Amino acid sequence: MNEIIVTRAISSQQKLSRRLIREGKTIAIVPTMGALHEGHLSLIRRGRKKADVVVTTVFVNPAQFAPHEDFNRYPRDPKGDLEKIRRAGGQVVFMPDRRKMYPDEYDTYVDVRHLTMTLEGKSRPGHFRGVTTIVTKLFNIVQPDVALFGMKDYQQAMLLKKMTIDLNWPIQFVICPTMREKDGLAMSSRNRYLSPELRRQAPALYQSLTAARKLVRDGETRGSTIIGRMRRIIRQTAPIAEIDYIALTELDSMKPVTIVMKNTVASLAVRIGPVRLIDNMKIA
């Protein structure tokens, strides 16, 4: 496949996927909501190494936004996204219409129970039901052999991996490292909402995470001490910041951790002005 193929109709992508499977080609999927950045492109490049064909999906999913959230103003740049995907080596782009993915009579949703009850699930009720539903639909349409997600959305990656296992999809699940700006800020489509002054304060999240990791390497294991240090760093370096949560969890199970041990992840959500940012780091 030398040229990028853009599919918009669900039936067209299903037909294409069936043809690729008949030809013996393996398929990787990179689900996105568009407004692509280097984090997304790194997944596409990784996908090229894992499968014959990479299908990038571009769809701003209304089911994962609450009524008060930013669905209508979420950044969209389909023309720019297509060019970025082409340069990254993507071969197929699936850009479905919202009304086709969720017609008026749509009434079926997918829930993953326990992993959605904390952190982002607690702060954004219903969010993950929208995520698991759209990814289920995309898996069924694209029929991938490999699915690639970023560690930046740690909880999302863990629950989608759990869903894939529980529903017996024969899909290799790949979680790739978080891509960061030079000052450590995790790449995100929402970063473009930050004014210059807010952007200067945003690296506070990364600074608090690296401080937590250093504390652990220096021998600190008490979760309360580590979280306390993270809170102080954010208050000092980002005066405008409002902390939604800071949590320590075990990597795979996401169970809360009070004493840091192997495979502990620190996660946090912080609002910098009007922009809500999330980040995480494996600190042990």
| pLDDT tens-digit series, residues 186-241 | 999 999 999 999 999 999 999 999 999 999 999 999 999 999 999 999 999 999 99
Tell me, yes or no, whether 146 and 250 share the same domain.
no
Chain segment 39-73, per-residue pLDDT in tens:
999 999 999 999 999 999 999 999 999 988 989 99
Count of the separate structural domains present in the chain:
2
Candidate from 2-6, 40-44, 168-172, 225-229 with smallest mean pLDDT? 2-6
Give the Cα separation of 201 and 272 in Å (integer).
8
Both tokens assigned to 146: 């490999």
DSSP of 55-101: EEEE---GGGS-TTSSTTTS---HHHHHHHHHHHT--EEE---HHHH
Q: Is the pLDDT of residue 104 over 70?
A: yes
Q: In this model, does residue 129 exceed pLDDT 90?
A: yes
Contact 27, 142 (CB under 8 A): yes
Determine which one of 40, 68, 114, 127 is catalytic: 40
Binning pLDDT at 50, 70 and 90, where does residue 3 land?
A: confident
Are 130 and 54 part of one and the same domain? yes
Give the whole-number percent of the chain exceeding pLDDT 90.
Answer: 97
**CATH number of the structural domain spanning residue 234:** 3.30.1300.10
**In the prediction, which pLDDT does 1 show?**
52
Helices first, then strands: H and E counts in the chain: 10, 9
The reply to whether 40 belongs to the active site is: yes
Residues 9 and 126 in one domain: yes
- Give the domain CATH number at 91: 3.40.50.620
Q: Which domain holds residue 71?
A: 5-176
Domain end: 133, 150, 176, which one?
176
